Amino acid sequence: MPRIFVCEYTTGGGLAGEALPVALAAAGDAMLRALLEDLRAIPAVKTATTRDARLPSLDPDIETQVISSAGSVWERWEQCIEAADAVWPIAPETGGVLERLSRCVLDKNRILIGCHPQAVQVTASKYRTARELKRHHIQVPDTLYPNTELPASDSGWVIKPDDGAGCEDTYYFRRAEDVNSSGKWTNGSIIQPYIPGIPASLSVLCYDGSHTLLACNEQRIQVTNHRLVYSGVTVNALAHRRREFEELVSRILEAVPGLRGYIGIDLVITELGPIVMEINPRLTEAYVGLRQSLRFNPAAPVVNACTRIRVR
């Protein structure tokens, strides 16, 4: 029976020896449990994972290695990768973590259920992502590094880490003078005009340039004390707009080769059409509600697309 190792960074030992942020651990745990449940429903595969010792145990019939020492986590992950037939990494792009995990899987000649490391490297940078998409005539916000003039905007500006995830350390300023005095536009960050509209995300299965648009989701994002705050997602709330996104996804896959498996695309729906904000080359929080929304197991087609394992 083929073995799939699911490596969820936050709950799987990536922060062993460090503080474990409650919100981050909760989000990671929700994705992990949803994916494990879906994989367990596939008779053709066996699943394994790792677990931070500070977190509640998983179901005893899931093969789990407990991680308590920070110094050994990558060594343990490598052992788990070697013992698997395929690996499904769930990790942040920040700091090159997801790229490193993905390269490790390929270096050990295991099947990677996810994006090629080169695609992860591009999408880890919001600046590079915007540049590549713009070259392919896909609408993106002007995206600039520090020490340049502010991009034109009538609605304010957003400052965020170039390689951050979601709304992490993301700030909004209505006035140019506030941007300049905030001290937030520093090395490692980028600035974009604030785009009014409907925050949305797409859940996409892609492989070899083709794709299946699984769900069109509406995100809940508010501005509080100069910060953009993400408070959740309503899965497939924008299903009625699916047709306008199909061509966009095809063009994104052409612009960024190597996207495969499950990916998320964040965008803002405006009167001028969708504007792409970033690409998440991994599982996103929307996955948690996919099975209930779609009424089929979303892990099965991903495993089918990325591996030689044929499942139902």
Q: Is residue 146 part of a domain?
A: no
* 105 & 65 share domain: yes
Q: Is residue 50 part of a domain?
A: yes
Q: Is residue 160 part of a domain?
A: no
* 78 & 99 share domain: yes
Average pLDDT score over residue span 5-34: 94
Cβ neighbours around 86 below 10 Å, total: 22
Q: Residue 198's pLDDT is what? A: 96
- Assess whether pLDDT exceeds 70 at residue 311: no
Q: Into how many domains does the chain fold?
A: 2
- pLDDT band of residue 309 (cuts 50, 70, 90) is low
Q: Residue 269's pLDDT is what? A: 97
27-50 per-position pLDDT tens digit? 999 999 999 999 999 988 999 999
CATH number of the domain where residue 31 is located: 3.40.50.11770
* 30 & 84 share domain: yes
- Assess whether pLDDT exceeds 70 at residue 308: no
78-120 per-position pLDDT tens digit? 999 999 999 999 999 988 999 999 999 999 999 999 999 999 9
Question: pTM, whole model, 2 decimals?
Answer: 0.94
- Which domain does 214 fall in, by range? 122-139+197-219+231-306
